[in-house]
Amino acid sequence: MPVRRLFVAGDVNGFLGLAVDNLSVLAILAGVLTEVFHLPADIVLGRMIPGTAFGVLAGDLIYTWLALRLARRERRDDVTAMPFGLDTPSTIGMALLVLGPEYLRLRTAGFDAAAAGLAAWRLGMAATVVMGLMKLPLSFAGRGLVRLVPQAALLGSLAAIALLLIGFLPLVEVLQEPVAGFLTLGVVLYALVGRGRVPGPLPAVLFALLVGMLAHYGLRAWHLDAVTFAVPSPPLSWHWPRPQPGFAYAMHRTVTYLPLLVPFALLTVIGGVNNTASARAAGDAYDVRSILFAEAAATLIAGLFGGVAQTTPYIGHPAYKDMGARAGYTLLTGLFIGAGGALGVVSGLLRWIPLSVLAPVLVFVALDITAQAYRSVPARHLPAIAFSFFPAIARMLTIELGDPRFLSPERFARLMTAASTGLPPLAVIVALGNGFIISATIWAAFLVELIERRARAAAAYLAAGGCLCAFGIIHSVKADGSVYVPWRLHGIERATATQFCAAYFVLAAALILLSMGRRPVPRPPVV
């Protein structure tokens, strides 16, 4: 592949989209830690953000090389690199369930803010290292998962995540500042969905961002703006990441958080398999093992260099391909996020670019992913894609209901146990949403097998779901989604877990009985 083709015009659009995605996650991470838990801003922005951004740089460099390698092997110059960055669900989970609580625990124990912040940072590094180490061996199971799981199950779970979490939740951010946010969203849809032309030579995404920021700051100048979130940012300063041996002092503390770290790692492995299937459907046949191994290595590098969040291949490869991006956009993103994190540029951008203007790009990516899922599977499998949306809906409800601004923790706990008949509705919603990526994949695969009249294969998926459910890997009855051993549950938690597990096994047994005497339909070979 000629060097001159490393960058094409579409790489600018792709860079802006991917950089915005990563900036949004970093903004959430920094905002939760500094605004909700009140960690010192210099530790969050001067230590956690640079190391976390360095993991993005490492992964994007590897993914750029993988795209160039695929282009050379297939002798074509239209290969699009897999988008890569910080994993949104686990990054938010790390902030809310690991870093913040650890900081509060130490403050309660008498540590000053600086000492408690440094200790929480070391725990975040150690947790990221543990997730990276777990994912290295798991990366070798990726090909088996692709052969085993139907495409509708892989793409359906992606579509559910995209539409409800990557699409709907950012849409809330858009409409928290309706004029600027909706204007930006409309321009994005006009240019990228409607294929409309924007004035001048500017890329469509950059033009939309500039329009949104002009509206945002114009309204602010006239005192007509809505209240928007801003992350405090220190002056530009050099914080180049370097190996941080301090993580070793916190490794023993990660044992307490393993019930959270194991699902976090598993979800990105499943997500990586799904994203690779999405890229294959769009025409770029990446090797699953290479994609997963590179992602695990980048997570490990992030932890060793001061990062506190894991990385993952992003949903949305077809959207970036439609933008005209090739291999250069991941290189640009890695250099911008990595170097920007070291120089403090990222911290400054987190302060000055409102989320209401960043979020519309995520809404577009969500729409494109969902449409691609429906285009890429046989029409008879479309109900399976729709069926996979339900766990993601439950997860979205749990995120919103669990926000203490809307529902106090005490009220949330009471609703988890209050019911006149049957299981408490909130307990069901929480259990249905926990482990939603894996459960959505299982649900869609189960229905695909039924559609193809392979009842025994459907029963096998259900039995696997029942086993995962027993230990809380899916349908965890804990509000935080942690795993457990079933014999240590009590009360309503035990009742909910027992009922969910029994549901899977009973239906599996029923399908086996119904299929007796019928000749199983063979599964077509995987191409």
What is the average per-residue pLDDT within 438-442?
Answer: 89
Residue 387, pLDDT score: 95
Residue 52, pLDDT score: 94
Taking a C-beta distance cutoff of 8 angstroms, is the pair 244, 125 a contact?
Answer: yes
- Residue with more model confidence, 362 or 2: 362
Residue 230, pLDDT score: 46
pLDDT of residue 126 exceeding 60: yes
pLDDT of residue 291 exceeding 70: yes
pLDDT tens readout for residues 511-522: 999 988 666 666
- Structure tokens, 119: 């200790």
Dihedral over alpha carbons 469, 471, 477, 478 (to 10 degrees) = -150
Q: How far is CA 51 from CA 26, 244, 251, in A?
A: 12, 9, 18
Averaged confidence pLDDT in the chain: 84
Taking a C-beta distance cutoff of 8 angstroms, is the pair 55, 307 a contact?
Answer: yes
* 513 Cβ contact partners less than 8 Å away, ≥ 6 residues apart: none
33-47, 316-330, 369-383, 396-410: which range is least confident on average? 396-410
Please choose, from the candidates 453, 457, 398, the residue with its C-alpha nearest in 3D space to the C-alpha of residue 430.
398
Residue 508, pLDDT score: 96
Highest mean pLDDT among 180-194, 200-214, 220-234: 180-194
- Residue with more model confidence, 18 or 155: 18
> For residue 311, what are the β-bridge partners?
86
DSSP 8-state class, residue 195: -
Give the largest Cα separation in the chain, rounded: 76
Dihedral over alpha carbons 380, 383, 386, 388 (to 10 degrees) = -100
7-11, 62-66, 102-106: which range is least confident on average? 7-11
* Measured distance CA(165)–CA(440) in Å, rounded: 14
What's the one-letter identity of residue 48? M
- Residue with more model confidence, 149 or 249: 249
Task: Write phi, then psi, for 341 (nearest 5 degrees).
Answer: -65, -35
Q: How confident is the model at residue 229 (pLDDT cuts 50, 70, 90)?
A: very low
What percentage of the chain carries pLDDT values higher than 90? 36
- Structure tokens, 281: 């459907």
72-86, 373-387, 478-492: which range is least confident on average? 478-492
What's the one-letter identity of residue 22? N
Please choose, from the candidates 354, 20, 48, the residue with its C-alpha nearest in 3D space to the C-alpha of residue 181.
354
What is the average per-residue pLDDT within 359-365?
Answer: 80
Please choose, from the candidates 254, 333, 397, 414, the residue with its C-alpha nearest in 3D space to the C-alpha of residue 84.
333
pLDDT of residue 526 exceeding 50: no
- Structure tokens, 519: 């000749």
Residue 469, pLDDT score: 94
Q: How confident is the model at residue 247 (pLDDT cuts 50, 70, 90)?
A: very high
* Measured distance CA(288)–CA(34) in Å, rounded: 37
Please choose, from the candidates 443, 338, 336, the residue with its C-alpha nearest in 3D space to the C-alpha of residue 384.
443
Residue 205, pLDDT score: 78
What percentage of the chain carries pLDDT values higher than 70? 90
- Residue with more model confidence, 65 or 210: 65
What is the average per-residue pLDDT within 140-157?
Answer: 76
User: Three-class SS of residue 514?
Assistant: helix
- Residue with more model confidence, 468 or 407: 468
DSSP 8-state class, residue 313: E
What is the average per-residue pLDDT within 442-447?
Answer: 94
Helices (H), 325-387: 328-343, 345-352, 355-375, 382-387
Residue 518, pLDDT score: 66
What is the average per-residue pLDDT within 405-411?
Answer: 69
Q: How confident is the model at residue 62 (pLDDT cuts 50, 70, 90)?
A: very high
pLDDT of residue 21 exceeding 50: yes
> For residue 84, what are the β-bridge partners?
313
pLDDT of residue 2 exceeding 60: no
- Structure tokens, 339: 């170097």
Taking a C-beta distance cutoff of 8 angstroms, is the pair 267, 437 a contact?
Answer: yes
Residue 527, pLDDT score: 41
Q: Rounded to two decimals, what is the model's pTM?
A: 0.72
